[in-house]
Amino acid sequence: MMDSNFAALQQLHSNLRVAIYCRLSKDDNLDGESASIHNQRDMLETWCQEHGYTVAGVYAEMKIA
């Protein structure tokens, strides 16, 4: 039963599209795209690829939160 549930969950995930949202930290006060934003995007895109998600878009907030 668990194997069939896992297979069904994998099939569901393979059809999901996700958006990645990155934001600038108050500790990362650089001009242009920061290393923090770049690292967040790279890590999340890799995670999505490894877990079968399709990245539909990447959004980055460059204002300090």
Number of neighbours of residue 11 by Cβ within 10 angstroms: 10
pLDDT in tens, 6-32: 777 666 666 789 999 998 876 665 555
Domain range for residue 46?
2-61
> Which residues, in sequence order, are CB contacts of 30 under 8 Å at separation 6+?
none
Closest CA to 14 of 57, 58, 56, 49: 49
**Selected residue with higher pLDDT from 64 and 46:** 46
**Which contiguous run of DSSP H or E holds residue 2?**
helix 2-14
Structural domain count of the chain:
1
Tokens coding 22: 């990155």
